[in-house]
């Protein structure tokens, strides 16, 4: 250590050399490599925007809890609240299995995972901001269902009380990852065996007589919601959940989400082997989308 610290001249030369190249690469401070100032500012700015979004979701989560829906501060359903349906031992086993699989899956996926999380938070905030107007409830699934059943959100028609579909977000609109997502979502909707189709939700939710009911769900149609990293950054920068009026960015984002889902609904209904339960839910979801279109036009 004494010998290493003795090379003060070398350290100074290295620092000076890296400082000159700061605009292109990075800073060197002693023996600690730092990101360029512009990158650090961008990260701090993005963090502030995420914090604003997270604060809004905390407020939404509190409203859910007042309705009797057990969610955490990010509007995610809490498995431990299903103890009247599943034994505490089974719930604990699910959580342990989830932790084990997540650790293996998330290695080396930091950047991709972060964009996906940002997109998921944005979708949660936006749809809940307009949930009363649309007559829907939108909650994030328990992490168990997110990871093992590949469903990020449950979309509930408050008029009928039924969970009409689930959403699976993907933070790209092109390339192999996007194509794989499309293919997997189609396979889940069609099922791999006769009599199958749609997705299972272990920690599910629906409404009965206007009150939330915790229950497993079967044959739920699922749709992907895709967005490029560049658009996610733009939406994150411009989206203001506290504004009383819908911004152009908000309307653009809603059109982006519902436009994609409408196309997927139409495409799925062309498959003759689509399970009748899944088909019926898709058709009811189309009716709900029609009601949303009318309410949007009245609002504008």
pLDDT in tens, the chain (300 residues): 443 344 444 433 334 443 344 444 443 334 344 444 444 444 555 567 778 888 999 999 999 999 999 999 999 999 999 999 999 999 999 999 999 888 877 765 655 567 778 889 899 999 998 888 788 889 999 999 999 999 999 999 988 999 999 999 998 898 998 999 999 999 999 998 877 899 999 999 999 998 999 999 999 999 999 988 888 888 888 888 778 887 888 888 889 899 999 999 999 999 999 999 999 999 999 999 988 887 665 455
The beta-carbon contacts of 151-157 under 8 Å, at least 24 apart in sequence, are 151/199, 151/201, 151/220, 151/222, 152/120, 152/123, 153/120, 153/123, 153/124, 153/127, 154/77, 154/201, 154/204, 154/205, 154/217, 154/220, 155/127, 155/285, 156/205, 156/206, 156/207, 157/284, 157/285, 157/288
pLDDT at 194: 76
First to last CA, the chain: 69
pLDDT at 111: 57
């Amino acid at each position: 250590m004494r010998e290493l610290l003795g090379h003060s001249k070398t350290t100074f030369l290295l620092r000076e050399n890296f400082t000159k190249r700061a605009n292109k690469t990075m800073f060197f401070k002693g023996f600690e490599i730092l990101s360029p100032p512009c990158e650090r500012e961008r990260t701090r700015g993005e963090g502030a925007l995420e914090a604003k979004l997270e604060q809004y979701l905390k407020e939404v989560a509190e409203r859910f809890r007042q309705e009797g829906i057990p969610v955490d501060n990010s509007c995610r359903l809490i498995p431990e609240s299903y103890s009247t349906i599943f034994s505490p031992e089974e719930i604990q086993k699910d959580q342990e299995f989830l932790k084990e699989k997540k650790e293996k899956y998330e290695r080396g996926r930091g950047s991709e995972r972060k964009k996906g999380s940002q997109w998921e938070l944005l979708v949660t905030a936006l749809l809940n901001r307009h949930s009363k107007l649309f007559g829907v409830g939108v909650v994030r699934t328990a992490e168990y269902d997110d990871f093992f059943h590949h469903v990020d959100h449950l979309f509930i028609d408050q008029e009928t009380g039924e969970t009409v579909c689930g959403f699976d977000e993907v933070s790209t609109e092109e390339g192999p990852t996007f194509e794989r997502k499309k293919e997997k979502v189609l396979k889940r909707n069609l099922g791999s065996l006769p009599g199958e189709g749609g997705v299972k939700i272990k920690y599910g939710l629906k409404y009965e007589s206007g009150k939330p009911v915790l229950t497993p769900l079967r044959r739920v149609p699922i749709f992907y919601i895709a967005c490029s990293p560049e658009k996610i950054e733009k939406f994150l920068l411009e989206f203001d959940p506290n504004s009383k009026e819908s911004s152009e960015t908000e309307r653009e984002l809603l059109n982006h989400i519902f436009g994609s889902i409408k196309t997927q609904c139409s495409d799925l209904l062309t498959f003759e082997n689509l399970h009748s339960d899944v088909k019926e839910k898709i058709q009811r979801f189309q009716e709900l989308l029609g009601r949303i279109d009318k309410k949007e036009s009245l609002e504008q």
